[in-house]
Structure 1
Amino acid sequence: MSGRPIDHVVHLVSDLDKAGTAFERLGFRLTPTAYHEDRMGTRNRLAQFRGRNFIELLEVDRPDLLQPHDFAAAPPFFGFGAHNKEMRRFGEGMTMLVFAGDDGRADIERFSAAGLQTYAPFDFERKSKLPDGTEVTVAFTLAFVTSPDMPRVAFFVCENRAQEYFWKPDFQEHDNGAESISAVYFSSRTPERDAEFIGRMFGGEVRSLNGGFAVACGPRQETRILQPDAIAAHDRTFRMPEDGSTVMAGLELHAGETQANVPSSSAHGAFITWTTA
């Protein structure tokens, strides 16, 4: 089975303005800064791609206002902002892998039936500016799932309830030619275990790779869960966790022409590789 397509990755940064400037210098055209609700405590800028996926650069800008986790509630509550606030102590980098979906509540039931840790659905809205300056409201439902073996990574389905306003073709043309996320890399000391978890969410086929495993995410994307030494072969500047935790490490982007790889030291904690295939 091909699994579920990747919608986006959440890339945590310490200063959104500085990170936005850095990504623009790398050839990405970013959407204007948008603010989430206070209970999320975050703001973002997006690099949207024609392939209907994107990179979300995220800053926790209101840490004292965000809603904390409540794992004792029934159902338990997972805080989007709370997770990223906790991850700030480890530095910048990707913290969440997000899958596309059109019914978040049905996905929660699917995760639960598969024996995965689920949480209450999270509905929210935020303001967004169209390229002509018009302000509109976009709305989402998030369906979270986590693995106890990967505490530094959260997974969720994003049900986009205002797609006609969210996707902006004027922001999907990038100077570096980026067209889509084709793969997400994980650094893992136990790649078989972590690949099995990712595959179980949506039945994505798991296959072996040199140094680890790949999990299919729809027909054109995959996650690649690799041993740290295999990750180092892609980027020797990537900071491996000293405690051996599994983390998201980098992206492969599809582009019309080959581009120079970008080390994590130049991209706020996550490397970028390219493919034209």
Structure 2
Amino acid sequence: MTDFDHAVINVLGRMDEAAEQYARLGFTLTPRGYHTLGSINHLAVFRDSYLELLGYAPGERDKRAEMWVHPAGLTGLAFRTGNAASLHDDLQRDGVAVEQYRDFSRPVTIDGQERNASFRTFQVDRRDVDNGRIFFCQHNTPELIWRPEWQSHANGATGIAAFTIISNDPNRLSALLKRVPGIYTDGTMRAGRTTLRVFHPSQMPDLCSGVSLLPDLAGGAMRMVALDLFTESLDVTNACLDARGVPYLRERTSLSIAPDAALGLVLRFIEYA
């Protein structure tokens, strides 16, 4: 089975601003990480997934330059795999165009001791994905990511409920996602607890009614535009954002933060049963 692993928010060279804003939104962020590939990050870690702020340090845009051609906002849909090499070969045999996997790491300090969190990842051919990446992540050291001290958030967030993409050809993109082994497709697409939603851009205003300045296709055929987050209580989320002066839209079953406050995507909190 292939579960949802994490969502990537591209912040380009604005990591300080992004980290400050997501802390203001009520997320507990991990210390800044420095990948051996050259990028930097902060994570908001949940029970079984995480949200990643990804960017580059001042003067280092040339490192992983292929990443920074994507617009700011949601640019990464990552599935979890226990064996990236095997899944890579399986997808290739099934006719899915994928790029070669690669290994990398970043230092993590745990209880005063430096350790290396290491990963093996590969992505769907970039020619088939606009404005971002669909990729697969093997965690060699998951115990260095899912740490209790990073999993409690003032806004009540506990996981990623849904990942939304807009596309000029939703059927084609949905067909690609359904070829990932383990994606549940009985009426809806799901990877573990996370629903995968693909819509035509004309449907976005209905999905995010009342939210202003919705993300558009940014010149591509598709774009990742919204995350739904599980929260233990909308009242907890509401109170957190009120205390921090963050604007939001509260409806009966959800609470939404517009792209100007969420750095390029719609963040929507929903209460789980």
Q: Report the TM range for the smaller structure's normalisation.
A: 0.7 to 0.9
After TM superposition, the structure 1 = structure 2 runs for residues 126-165 of structure 1, keeping only pairs within 5 Å, are: 126-130=106-110, 132-146=111-125, 148-165=127-144
Identity of counterpart residues, as a percentage? 27
CA distance in 2, matches of 1:227, 1:207: 20
Structure 1 unaligned residues grouped into runs of 5+:
67-80, 209-213
**RMSD, aligned CA:** 1.8
Distance in structure 2 (CA, Å) of the matches to 1:120 and 1:239: 31
Moved more, 138-147 or 26-35: 138-147
Instruction: Name the CA shift for 1:236/1:150 in 2 (closer, same or farther; >3 Å).
Output: farther
Letter in 2 for 1:93: G
Query: Counterparts of 1:98 and 1:122 in 2: how far apart (Å)?
Result: 15
Alpha-carbon contact 2:15-2:56 (below 8 Å) kept: no
Does 2:81 align with 1:46? no
Contact 1:182–1:221, Cα closer than 8 Å, also in 2: yes
- TM norm structure 2: 0.84
Q: Which of the numbers 69, 83, 89 marks the counterpart of 1:86?
A: 69
In structure 2, the residue corresponding to 1:196 is in which secondary structure? helix
- 2:5 aligned with 1:10: no
**1:228 alignment counterpart:** 201
2:95 paired residue number: 115
- SS of the counterpart of 1:116? coil
Correspondence 1:1-277 to 2 at 5 A: 4-14=2-12, 15-37=14-36, 40-50=37-47, 52-61=48-57, 62-64=60-62, 66=63, 81-87=64-70, 90=71, 92-130=72-110, 132-146=111-125, 148-206=127-185, 214-218=188-192, 220-233=193-206, 234=208, 235-258=211-234, 259=237, 260-277=255-272
TM superposition shift of 1:128: 1.1
Distance change >3 Å, CA 205–CA 171, structure 1 → 2: closer
**Counterparts of 1:221 and 1:273 in 2: how far apart (Å)?**
14
Instruction: Name the aligned partner's letter for residue 238 of structure 1.
Output: L
Is the 8 Å Cα contact of residues 107 and 143 (structure 1) preserved in structure 2? Answer: no
Q: Secondary structure of the residue that 1:99 maps to in structure 2?
A: strand
State how far apart, in whole Å, the 2-side matches of 1:272 and 1:149 are: 25
Q: How many positions carry a matched residue from both structures?
A: 247
Query: Contact conserved, 2:163 with 2:197, CA < 8 A, in 1?
Result: yes
